[in-house]
């Protein structure tokens, strides 16, 4: 996102509700209004406030995309997941990667659903470093980036093909299941009025 | 010794007719008049009206004209008349009826005291639409390899209450795990005897003592619903077999049951009956959920369909696999710790350079061995000048009791030898696995041979004493953890009869999930040390043989499988926990 003029905020973004975001934004708007009151015209001030509010709205929309992603990962709604990504998107979750919406659809439909990936992301939860989350939205509101601190539930699929393993897989059973703290590095683009994920990286621990 | 009546074919071998919808309609026509029953049916509902409201399901308005005929209006629709039957257990009434001219009907469990009701809608010819819908959602072609299964009963379950005009009660009957781990012997009023085992919260297995002679146990997807601490609703559908539906109200206070059985048997004859029965608890084994998990939110009940997914191969495909794609223990590189071998013990290598002869009784194989190194041996039949080389692996499941395996000649069908030899008493047992059965090319068959060993430094074997068949393991339940990890690959074995066993796969929350069963064979090598084998007939055809040491709660074993990826001989090594035991010997005709 080089060259992008942007506004960055740090606040609990990923799993907290819109009320907290709203309060944060309202507070920021209030402070900056007081500082600027004597130096800007009323029209400029109005435009700035409108931009602030627009950004808050975009931030909420992006949050919605991420909540949808996390919910669909957890409910294993893999068919719907690809729709959250832009056509040219890339994803890399603990080293399991794909490029392009079609590739991402295949990744979730095959490697995730069939449990052939080396490791699966099964669920996300906000963690103690959530306050360090950062969301940056370009001034034109068409691009954004986010760093989201999460605990991820990592699942290692059963690799064997014996009957017991086949039956266990049918029930969603994994060889190993553990939680790990890390961060999601996301980039978004707005296309046809909708935010889509342009890239999503969870670096392998 | 049991003197029961046996069937020529067990359930998994019966070629059930793939009936059309029209044939099903015709076969079900007599159900319109209601079920038969040897016990007197209840007239408690005669003359009464019930309006049953369900959560997310139908509203059923009943007028019971008398003890055998009712009128039903579904969701305010036009009333229909049907024959029915009812049985009482304390304040519970079990009602069963079909809707004339259709392939569906209702089973009601109504609590006259609390006003709560559970409704089972049971119907036939419903598998194909479900499979087509599931295939569409998964983006695949629907599979009807084993037919359209119109004969298989389907069920929808709704919880609700009897609308008495006042506020709706908030309580409901619930799914439960409170029957999990229990076994019950039932004798019904129609003289049917059956052993039931509730080892899962979505499956059960049962031994048909009267109908099939009690040789095998079979499994069926099941539902468990709690009415209160002593009354439960249990149902099962004999999927992959006849498709018959069974529902029972179980009362653990007086160990009685009221049940209904609906469907077509193996002769395509209609069975629609209500019955009562008296039970005896055969045991209660451990369960593995965390405390506080009562199984109320169990999720969907899945159906394991091995007959549908079994990879059927032609003679030529199997010939190619066993001759050109045969691999034993990574072809000498070691079998690794994947699959069922994650806890294999230390490889025994100290026989390298030594010779062994195993001499089986009664014209069985006599095989001479030279252990070339830790993984390669030479073998020949006694009297044959030709030595063959083979990869092997050897383990020591008990002190100076060894177990090794290797492939035999590259011929079709192809066999393997698994040899247990006891350096304390000179006894040996050879288990020979061979590809192909009378039913499928890529199943295996097994044959046990008992005999002795000859080796320099080995003890002189006894003249008459041999390893031999045993029923000592009957009733035992043992969990097997095949791989490290949380939870790793883990199952539970239930050694159900002297000729069968069942395995249960745990769900992620530790509850029992899907299960299946197969024939099994049990030999005793020493006190507490057994050679157990099974063949996953009509499932994937694998032969598994484990030497199970009940003192170390560990095993050493081998798997023999032929599939499209070839023939494999691999290692099994797992850690066991004792889950409990069912006292079922007397019902199976075994010495108590």
Its ipTM equals 0.91
pLDDT the model gives residue B554 = 98
Say yes or no: B287 contacts chain A, CB-CB below 8 A: no
Find out whether B571 and B585 touch, Cβ atoms under 8 Å: no
Domain containing A167: what range?
Answer: 11-202
Say yes or no: B199 contacts chain A, CB-CB below 8 A: no
3-class DSSP assignment, residue A125: strand
- pLDDT at A2 > cutoff 70: no
Retrieve residue B478's tokens: 């043992």
With CB atoms and an 8 Å threshold, state whether B489 touches A177: no
Phi then psi dihedrals of residue B362, to 5 deg: 55, 45
For residue A204, what pLDDT band results from cuts at 50, 70 and 90?
Answer: confident
Residues contacting residue B77 through CB under 8 Å, at least 6 positions apart? none
Q: How many CB pairs under 8 A join A and B?
A: 73
Residues contacting residue B587 through CB under 8 Å, at least 6 positions apart? B185, B193, B195, B207, B209, B214, B282
Arithmetic mean of pLDDT over chain A = 83
Task: State pLDDT tens for residues A39-74.
Answer: 668 889 998 888 888 888 999 999 999 999 999 999
Say yes or no: A158 contacts chain B, CB-CB below 8 A: yes
pLDDT the model gives residue A6 = 55
Which one of B483, B514, B539 has the shortest CB-CB distance to A175? Answer: B483
Chain A residues with CB under 8 Å of B338 CB are 159-160
Retrieve residue B426's tokens: 């000179």
**Closest Cα to residue A154, out of A200, A116, A121?**
A121
Residue A2 resides in a domain: no
d(CA A187, CA A189): 7
pLDDT the model gives residue B534 = 98
Mutate: best of A158, A162, A169, partner B, most B CBs <10 A: A162
pLDDT the model gives residue A38 = 54
CATH number of the domain at A113, please: 3.10.450.50
Say yes or no: B508 contacts chain A, CB-CB below 8 A: yes
d(CA A124, CA A152): 5
Which one of A161, A167, A175 has the shortest CB-CB distance to B505? Answer: A167
- pLDDT at A10 > cutoff 60: no
- pLDDT at A23 > cutoff 60: no
With CB atoms and an 8 Å threshold, state whether A174 touches B514: no
Task: State pLDDT tens for residues A145-170.
Answer: 999 999 999 999 988 888 999 999 88
pTM, rounded to two decimals: 0.89
Residue A72: count other Cβ atoms within 10 Å of its Cβ. Answer: 18
Query: Chain A, 108-137: which have a CB under 8 Å from a chain B CB?
Result: 109
How far A102 CA sits from the closest chain B CA (Å)?
Answer: 15
Say yes or no: A175 contacts chain B, CB-CB below 8 A: yes
How far A13 CA sits from the closest chain B CA (Å)?
Answer: 30
**What are the DSSP calls for B564-585, one per residue?**
TTEEEEEEE--EEEEEEE---G
d(CA B500, CA B521): 7
**Closest Cα to residue B35, out of B190, B228, B231?**
B190
Residue A109 resides in a domain: yes
- pLDDT at A29 > cutoff 80: no
Residue A1 resides in a domain: no
pLDDT the model gives residue A31 = 41
pLDDT the model gives residue A174 = 87
Say yes or no: A191 contacts chain B, CB-CB below 8 A: no
Nearest residue in A to B565, CA atom: A161
With CB atoms and an 8 Å threshold, state whether A175 touches B339: no
pLDDT the model gives residue B396 = 98
- A66, A68, A74, A77: CA torsion to nearest 10: -130
Say yes or no: A75 contacts chain B, CB-CB below 8 A: no
Task: State pLDDT tens for residues A101-139.
Answer: 999 999 999 899 888 899 999 999 999 999 999 999 998
pLDDT the model gives residue A141 = 87
pLDDT the model gives residue A24 = 34
Nearest residue in B to A168, CA atom: B505
pLDDT in tens, chain B (592 residues): 667 889 999 999 999 999 999 999 999 999 999 999 999 999 999 999 999 999 999 999 999 999 999 999 999 999 999 999 999 999 999 999 999 999 999 999 999 999 999 999 999 999 999 999 988 887 788 989 889 999 999 999 999 999 999 999 999 999 999 999 999 999 999 999 999 999 999 999 999 999 999 999 999 999 999 999 999 999 999 999 999 999 999 999 999 999 999 999 999 999 999 999 999 999 999 999 999 999 998 888 999 999 888 888 999 999 999 999 999 999 988 776 677 999 999 999 999 999 999 999 999 999 999 999 999 999 999 999 999 999 999 999 999 999 999 999 999 999 999 999 999 999 999 999 999 999 999 999 999 999 999 999 999 999 999 999 999 999 999 999 998 888 888 999 999 999 999 999 999 899 999 999 999 999 999 999 999 999 999 999 999 999 999 999 999 999 999 999 999 999 999 999 999 999 999 999 999 8
Say yes or no: A77 contacts chain B, CB-CB below 8 A: no
Nearest residue in B to A110, CA atom: B138
How far A174 CA sits from the closest chain B CA (Å)?
Answer: 7
Residue A6 resides in a domain: no
d(CA B281, CA B478): 19
Residues contacting residue B90 through CB under 8 Å, at least 6 positions apart? B231, B251
Residues contacting residue B45 through CB under 8 Å, at least 6 positions apart? B62, B64, B67, B70, B86, B93, B95
pLDDT the model gives residue A173 = 86
d(CA B10, CA B266): 10
Residue A128 resides in a domain: yes
Task: State pLDDT tens for residues B533-546.
Answer: 999 999 999 999 99
With CB atoms and an 8 Å threshold, state whether B489 touches A165: yes
Chain B residues with CB under 8 Å of A162 CB are 339-340, 542, 559
pLDDT the model gives residue B61 = 98
Residue A5 resides in a domain: no
Domain count, chain A: 1
d(CA B500, CA B516): 11
The alpha carbon dihedral of B572, B578, B580, B582 has a sign of positive
How far A178 CA sits from the closest chain B CA (Å)?
Answer: 8
d(CA B147, CA B128): 9
What value does the mean pLDDT take over residues A193-198? 95
Element (H, E) at B308: helix B306-309
- pLDDT at A4 > cutoff 80: no
How far A153 CA sits from the closest chain B CA (Å)?
Answer: 12
Nearest residue in A to B301, CA atom: A171
């Amino acid at each position: 996102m080089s060259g992008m003029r942007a506004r960055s905020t740090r606040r609990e973004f990923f799993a907290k509700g819109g009320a907290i975001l709203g309060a944060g934004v309202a507070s920021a708007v209030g402070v900056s209004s007081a500082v600027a009151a004597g130096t800007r015209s009323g029209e400029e001030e109005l435009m700035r406030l409108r931009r602030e509010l627009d950004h808050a709205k975009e931030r909420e929309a992006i949050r919605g995309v991420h909540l949808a992603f996390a919910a669909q990962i957890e409910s294993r709604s893999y068919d719907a997941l690809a729709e959250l990504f832009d056509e040219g998107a890339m994803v890399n979750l603990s080293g399991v990667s794909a490029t392009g919406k079609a590739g991402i659809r295949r990744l979730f439909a095959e490697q995730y659903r069939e449990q052939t990936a080396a490791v699966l992301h099964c669920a996300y939860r906000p963690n103690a470093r959530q306050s360090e989350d950062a969301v940056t939205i370009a001034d034109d509101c068409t691009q954004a980036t986010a760093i989201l601190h999460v605990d991820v539930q990592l699942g290692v699929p059963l690799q064997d093909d014996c009957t017991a393993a086949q039956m266990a897989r049918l029930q969603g059973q994994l060889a190993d299941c553990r939680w790990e703290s890390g961060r999601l590095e996301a980039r978004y683009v707005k296309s046809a009025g909708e935010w889509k994920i342009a890239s999503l990286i969870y670096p392998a621990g | 010794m049991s003197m029961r009546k046996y069937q020529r074919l067990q359930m998994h071998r019966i070629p059930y007719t793939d009936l059309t919808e029209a044939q099903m309609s015709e076969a079900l026509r007599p159900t319109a008049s209601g079920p038969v029953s040897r016990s007197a049916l209840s007239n408690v509902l005669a003359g009464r009206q019930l309006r049953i409201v369900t959560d997310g399901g139908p509203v059923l308005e009943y007028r019971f004209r008398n003890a055998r005929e009712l009128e039903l209006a579904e969701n305010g629709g036009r009333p229909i008349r049907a024959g029915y039957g009812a049985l009482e257990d304390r304040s519970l009434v079990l009602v069963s009826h079909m809707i004339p001219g259709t392939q569906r009907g209702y089973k009601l469990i109504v609590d006259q005291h609390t006003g709560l009701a559970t409704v089972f809608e049971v119907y036939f010819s419903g598998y194909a639409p479900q499979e087509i819908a599931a295939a569409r959602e998964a983006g695949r072609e629907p599979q009807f390899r084993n037919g359209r299964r119109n004969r298989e009963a389907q069920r929808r379950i709704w919880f609700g209450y009897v609308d008495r005009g006042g506020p709706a009660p908030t309580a409901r009957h619930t799914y439960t795990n409170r029957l999990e781990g229990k076994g019950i012997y039932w004798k019904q009023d129609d003289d049917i005897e059956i052993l039931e085992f509730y080892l899962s919260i979505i499956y059960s297995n049962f031994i048909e003592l009267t109908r099939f002679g009690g040789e095998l146990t079979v499994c069926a997807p099941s539902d468990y619903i709690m009415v209160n601490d002593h009354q439960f609703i249990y149902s099962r559908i004999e999927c992959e077999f006849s498709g018959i539906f069974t529902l029972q109200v179980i009362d653990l206070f007086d160990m009685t049951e009221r049940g209904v059985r609906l469907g077509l048997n193996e002769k395509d004859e209609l069975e629609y009956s209500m019955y009562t029965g008296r039970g005896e608890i055969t045991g209660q084994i451990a369960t593995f959920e965390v405390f506080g998990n009562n199984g109320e939110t169990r999720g969907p009940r899945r159906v394991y369909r091995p007959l549908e997914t079994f990879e059927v191969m032609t003679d030529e495909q199997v010939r190619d696999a066993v001759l050109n794609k045969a691999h034993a223990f990574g072809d000498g590189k070691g079998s690794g710790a994947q699959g069922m071998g994650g806890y294999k013990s230390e490889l025994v290598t100290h026989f390298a350079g030594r010779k062994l002869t195993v001499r089986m009784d009664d014209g069985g194989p006599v095989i001479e061995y030279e252990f070339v190194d830790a993984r390669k041996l030479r073998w020949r039949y006694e009297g044959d000048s030709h030595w063959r080389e083979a990869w092997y692996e050897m383990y020591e499941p008990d002190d100076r009791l060894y177990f090794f395996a290797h492939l035999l000649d590259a011929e079709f069908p192809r066999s393997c030898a698994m040899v247990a030899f006891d350096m304390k008493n000179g006894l040996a047992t050879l288990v020979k696995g061979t590809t192909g059965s009378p039913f499928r090319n890529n199943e295996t068959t097994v044959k046990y041979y008992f005999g002795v060993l000859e080796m320099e430094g080995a003890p002189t074997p006894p003249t008459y004493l041999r390893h031999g068949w045993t029923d000592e393991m009957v009733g035992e339940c043992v969990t097997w953890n095949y791989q490290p990890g949380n939870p790793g690959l883990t199952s539970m074995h239930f050694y159900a009869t002297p000729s069968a066993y069942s395995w249960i796969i745990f769900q992620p929350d530790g509850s029992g999930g899907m299960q299946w069963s197969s024939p099994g064979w049990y030999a005793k090598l020493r006190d507490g040390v057994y050679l157990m084998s099974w063949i996953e007939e009509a499932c994937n055809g694998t032969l598994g043989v484990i030497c199970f040491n009940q003192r170390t709660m560990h095993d050493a074993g081998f798997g023999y499988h032929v599939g499209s990826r070839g023939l494999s001989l691999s290692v099994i090594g797992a850690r066991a926990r004792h889950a409990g035991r069912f006292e079922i010997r007397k019902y199976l005709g075994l010495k108590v």
